[in-house]
Every structure is written in C-alpha cells, then in structure tokens.
Amino acid sequence: MGMGLLPRPRAALFVGLMLLAPACVSEPELEGRACGSTAPCPEPLMCGVDRTCHFLCDGFGGCPDGRVCADDLCYGTPCASTGDCAEGEVCVTGTCTPDRPPECEQDVDCTLPGICEIVEGARCEQGRCQYRTLSCLDPPPAQCAGADDLFRTFAGVGVCDPATGGCDYSMMETACPSCVDTCLAPCSNLTCDDDAGGCKTGGFCEPGAVGEPATCRYQLAPDGMACTLDSGDPGTCKAGACGICQADADCDDGNACTADTCDLGAHVCRHAPVAGTCDDQDLCTTGDTCSDGVCRGQPAVTCDSPPGPCFEAAGRCDPGTGTCAYTTSVAGAPCTDDNRDCTLDVCDGNGACTHDDAPAGTACQDGDLCTYADVCDGNGTCGGTALTCTDAAGVCGANRSCDGTPRCVETFPGPAVSCDDGNACSFSDGCNGAGGCQGTTYSCNDGDLCTQDTCDGQGGCSYTALAPSGLAPTGGGDVSRQDVTLVWSPCTQATQYEVQIQWQAADGTWNAYYTYQVSTNTKLFYPCSSTAPSPPCNSDFRFRVRAQTNGVYGPFSGWAVFNWAACRAC
C-alpha cells in the first residue's frame, strides 16, 4: 500500500469514548515512525495500515529477520499473542506491532482502515489520535467475507481485559459478525441502563480522565411525572428518581398551565390543564394563554422590514428582547439599483450596498436608441456608436427610426394615412403599407357616347353632353326655308334625337321651345308649321339636340345659333 490516506473504514456506531492506551513507547526509529497524510515516510519506506513506516518487501515477497510481507510492506515478526512479541510490542492480527496509538497533526490523520468506520470522526489531541469505540453493523456489510476482513488498525485499539483492567492488543480473532472493538477501560464494566420507572432515559457512558472512573449520563424526566416504582406501584419522578408524593407541593412541575396535586390515594401527581393567562417568557408573542396545559402566545412582532437592501427580507424575533434581527446578505448579492448601467450594485457582506464603476467594455444601455454597441468606459459612463435615421420622402414613404442596433427600422404608413394616387376615378386613397398610395377605383362610364363622363375622385360622377359637331347651314351662315337643313355629327350609338328650336324676338328675348324628334341622320331642318311659324326677317334662331340611347335621353348639347336671312314666310 502506498503513502497517503488509508481507506476510509465502513459504517459503525459509537458507544463511548476510548481513552488512549498507556504510553510507554520511546521515540520511534526510522522504521516504525508514525506516518499519515501530513507526515509521509522518508524514502525508501512506505506508510502501512498501522500508520507507521515500513520497508518494502523484496521482489519475491520476502522480508528480513522473519518479518511478514503484507500488502507489499514488511511488518513485525509473526505472533499468536502479545507474549510472542518483544517488549513494547503487541500482537495485532498475527503481527508484532509497536504498542502506541498513531501520531497525528490533524484529525484526518486518524482515519482507521478496516470494516468499521468512525461515524462522528476521530480527533487528534496532543499529537496522538483518540478514538471512540467502534462496533460493526448488524447485520455486517455484505462484502464482509470472513477472517480476512477482520478489523485491522494500530496497536492502541484492542479488547479490554476485565481481569487486569488493561487492553489486550491481540485484537479480534473471530469472524466479522462479532467484530467489536470494546477497548473502553473506564466504561467497559459500567452499564448505563435506563431507569425502569421511566425517570431516567437515554443512558450513555461518559469516560473520565485517565485513571478516573466513568459515569453514566441520562435524560431526566420532569419532576412530578408519573412513573412506576420497583414494586410496581405508581410513583412520581423527582430529580430523576421514581418516588411517591405526600402533598401537592411535591408535584409542582413549574408549569402555570397545570393544576398540580398529589393523589393521596395513589400517591402520584396529577397535572390537570387549567385555563387563564400565563407568560411564555417570549417577548415576541402577546396574549399568552394556557391551552392543553401549555402556555402559548400569538405572534406580536413581524420581522419583514430589514434595515437595508443588503439584509435578508425575513428576520427573526429575539424572544429575550422582542426586537427583530436580520442576517446580512452575502457579499456579491445584488442590491438596490442606482439606475446607472455602469456601476455594479452589490452587497459588501456587511450590510452596505456598493456601487463601484463597472470595468471598461462592460455592456450597458445609454438610453439613446440611436446608438448601438453601448459599453462602459470604466469611469461610470455608458456610450455607444451614433446612428442617424431619416424618413423617406412622400406621405407614404418609410418612417425610419432607431432601435439600438446598427440598422434603421423602417415602418410604412397604412390605409389610415390619406394620400392621392393621381387617379381621378378612385376614392378613399390611402397608403398601402409598402410605400405606395392606392385608392378604390370606380367607373363613370354611363354607356352614352353623347356624354363626357368625368370622375370627381370621391366616388361621384359628372356627365357633360357632347355638343353636336359641324352644325352649319348647307348654304352658309344664312338659312332659308329651302336651305335650313343643317349638317352635324350625331352620336353614333343614338337611336333617336330630340331637337329644340327657339327664335329671338326683336327685343332680344327667345320665344318658347319648339321640340320635335328626328331619326338618326345627319341633318336638321327648320319645320315650318303652325306651331313653328317663320322667324322674323333677319332674326336669329337656335338649335340644340340630345340623343336617346336604350330609350333614355341624355343631356342636351349646347346651342347652335343661326340667322334667318330669307326674310320670307315658310
């Protein structure tokens, strides 16, 4: 086995404190020197299972002077009992071993090998290991196979010999199930049984100092508690002993919430719960009252207002003072933000919140969306690279804004934003969300080729009649009965035309309309009749025409004025 810590022993139960074995050992020589995790052996020696230094076995597993080779190390001479060993040595698992507990510098040096384990830990005192008694688990560990798994340790642990009061270091010679180390010289002959009456429980042995007797320690029942006498009669506990009471005073349990009386018939104490106020000796409660024989109060102090951000939120009330105490937050815990990105807001571990400047290059936010890659400068200031974002032209153009990144964010107006798409035959023009303007299109085509159809851009239409073109007399500007025929260009889609004629009186007024219909052709004429008499000589008359399409007349054309030059009647 090499240097360093020995294997940790298996689990065991403590049953008492073991005294050191009698110290009668001279200073160790080179071989046999104590060793451990902090005290390695000088070369070429190695640390053995007994925590002393040993020479290595030779290449054939042999050792000089009749010594035994075990785990590649040379141990003492073989032995059947301590009588086979030299003075100052004891027989441990068939090998003569120096009679002393290991030297140590710290508790970890006292870890024992074997199948048992020190549960609560050995301790190093005055340079020597001290141990509590070890006991194997019952049932023993599954890996415990037999004699090879016997408890092996340094010579200072053995079996107590009742005949001499000393330790027999021949160690355990039985199989693992009975592997028990009971080297407890002060406690070996002392049994700490619980009191049969129930007034002393949890007995354990407490060894005394070297040469002093051990004592038993118990958990004592409260005075006045009922118990059973050795005779089987009922009794009352007092100072850990079961006796009988003679008066109520013998039964005082010190509890204000019980009425303590002595039952003189049975000579046992009775503790009946009583009601009323009491004092639970806790300044953190109020309204203390008896309940089922116990004094209980209601919480009167709430500890949820720490004195600063670097204290735990929930405190505890001190029953002796009635005041709250709060635990400080650990160093490095976050605390109140000073609203500066370039400071580190952490607790110092003593209840104070500190705001030291963050290191240069620490990411931060300078509060300006038109900068990016913001970092601290190491002096508490945050700054970034500037970016300019300008809106595109036009009411529907992109609105550009900053978002703290190297690129501008573009948003386009939607239909709620009015615009003009340039199309008179659309209405409710609005932005299309992609930078363009778009309206709802419509048509004003009335199917009448004799009208000029016009959109007003609001969803409405206007229709202007087309004036007949080429209205002119066949013979010139003057017309007569014979040449009143007019050449004109009618609407090509019309099925009938309505003609209105007026002539102008001498006073310049126009007489009443004379209306008649003509079929599709290109000529108009003045119809002499009783209702359309001849116009005065050299007077003016005028025509206007409207076309009928699909049985519906459109608006009239403009007036065409001519002079009646014939100076004769129809």
Q: Domains in the chain, please, with CATH? A: 1-189 (no CATH), 343-386 (no CATH), 466-564 (2.60.40.10)
* Interacting residues of 327 by C-beta distance below 8 A, sequence separation 6+: 311, 312, 315
Question: What would the mean pLDDT of 5-20 be, rounded to a whole number?
Answer: 26
Question: What would the mean pLDDT of 402-419 be, rounded to a whole number?
Answer: 93
419/503: higher pLDDT: 419
**Residue appearing with tokens 């116009």:** 535
Contact 376, 382 (CB under 8 A): yes
- Give the model confidence (pLDDT) of 470-506 as tens digits: 555 554 455 554 445 556 666 666 778 888 888 888 8
The region of weakest confidence among 27-31, 144-148, 449-453 is: 144-148
The region of weakest confidence among 150-164, 340-354, 547-561 is: 150-164
The region of weakest confidence among 87-101, 170-184, 329-343 is: 170-184
214/373: higher pLDDT: 373
Q: How confident is the model at residue 344 (pLDDT cuts 50, 70, 90)?
A: very high
* Interacting residues of 317 by C-beta distance below 8 A, sequence separation 6+: 283, 284, 299, 301, 303, 323, 324, 325
C-alpha span between 250 and 258 (Å, rounded): 14
Angle (CA) 524-530-533 rounded to 5° is 60
C-alpha span between 422 and 242 (Å, rounded): 114
Contact 248, 281 (CB under 8 A): no
441/229: higher pLDDT: 441
- Check pLDDT > 90 for residue 268: no
Strands 539-549 and 523-524: unpaired
Widest CA span in the chain? 181
Would you say the pTM of this structure is higher than 0.75?
A: no
Which residue type sits at 18? Answer: M
Q: Across 92-96, 467-471, 484-488, 515-519, which has the greatest mean pLDDT?
A: 515-519
What pLDDT is recorded for position 58? 77
